[in-house]
């Protein structure tokens, strides 16, 4: 399969407001949650000063992208209103974009109105865990905003996804759903698309590992691959530990993701991911 994957012309750049960002060397997306209930407590920040310090540290450690999220998408997370989500994310994005104008800021949301407000505040990328499923205005909105879009695979909602893990054929079903959405995005003028197969979202632990082993298949969509494995239950449950103890396991799976074709690692621990990419580049030769 690897030989065939090399035939696909995967894009190696992102257009960030007219500047082409190369993905020839993989990049790190640092997770910065402005929520009180994200599954990994160390990723949370609740004051502007704390948010700016966390953002600065991630940039120093090698993050190219900062992913700001105001809605927890852990399994079974509480639903919050669009107004509350907006209140959580807009000011942090404004503050980060003013303090660190070189940073690429991603808004982690499935709501079109939040995406628009975030981009108006300084975000330059939209990361949608629902892949457009939870807001039928999202694709049109991103097309109007002219920013890159992370298309993630998920079924249901964060509240229901754990029960939606039955597939006729796991890999083919996910590829088909993502391919159909890629065509719809392009019809709306969205050309900078990142593919996230959605580790942990409407998948069992075994299904997550099947996706990771076959991550290269997603190159068939001709868009760069983003891998979000950081400290997830597929790691700590296999190790009989906790999210707090899952850094070593995360590093191991991030290397597997890079070998299998990931262009961006979405992580809580930027320094470890940056070092993983450095060693991957040495390994690759």
| CA pair distance 146, 274, nearest whole angstrom | 28
Active site residue 99: no
Catalytic pick among 88, 99, 232, 237? 232
Catalytic pick among 2, 266, 271, 284? 266
| Long-range contacts of the stretch 176-182 (C-beta < 8 A, 24+) | 177/131, 177/153, 178/131, 178/151, 178/153, 178/218, 178/221, 179/220, 179/221, 181/131, 181/132, 181/139, 181/151, 182/151, 182/221, 182/223
Residues in a beta bridge with 128: 151
Q: Exposed/middle/buried for 247, CB within 10 Å: 0-12, 13-18, 19+? A: middle
| CA pair distance 275, 61, nearest whole angstrom | 9
Q: Contact 129/176 with Cβ under 8 angstroms?
A: no
H helices of 100-196, where? 112-121, 138-145, 170-187
Active site residue 231: no
Residues annotated as part of the active site: 232, 266
């Amino acid at each position: 399969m690897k030989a065939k994957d090399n035939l696909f012309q995967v894009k190696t750049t992102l257009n960030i407001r007219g500047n082409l960002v190369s993905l020839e060397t993989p990049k790190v997306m640092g997770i910065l949650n402005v929520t009180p209930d994200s599954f990994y407590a160390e990723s949370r920040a609740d004051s502007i000063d704390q948010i700016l310090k966390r953002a600065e540290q991630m940039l120093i450690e090698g993050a190219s992208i900062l992913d700001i999220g105001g809605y927890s998408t852990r399994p079974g997370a509480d639903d919050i209103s669009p107004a509350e989500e907006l209140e959580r994310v807009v000011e942090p994005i404004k503050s980060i974009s003013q303090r660190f104008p070189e940073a690429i800021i991603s808004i982690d949301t499935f709501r079109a109105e939040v995406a628009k407000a975030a981009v108006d505040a300084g975000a330059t990328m939209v990361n949608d865990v629902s892949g457009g499923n939870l807001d039928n205005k999202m694709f049109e909105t991103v097309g109007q905003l002219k920013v890159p879009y992370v298309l993630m695979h998920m079924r249901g909602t964060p509240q229901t996804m754990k029960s939606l893990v039955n597939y006729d054929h796991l890999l083919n079903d996910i590829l088909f759903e993502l391919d159909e959405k890629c065509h719809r995005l392009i019809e709306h003028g969205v050309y900078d698309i990142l593919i996230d197969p959605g580790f942990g979202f409407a998948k069992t632990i075994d299904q997550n590992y099947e996706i990771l082993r076959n991550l290269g298949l997603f190159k068939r969509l001709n868009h760069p691959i983003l891998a979000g494995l950081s400290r997830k239950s597929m790691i700590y449950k296999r190790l009989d530990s906790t999210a707090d103890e899952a850094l070593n396991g995360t590093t191991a799976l991030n290397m597997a993701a890079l070998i299998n074709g990931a262009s961006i690692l979405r992580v809580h621990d930027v320094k470890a991911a940056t070092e993983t990419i450095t060693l991957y580049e040495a390994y690759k030769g």
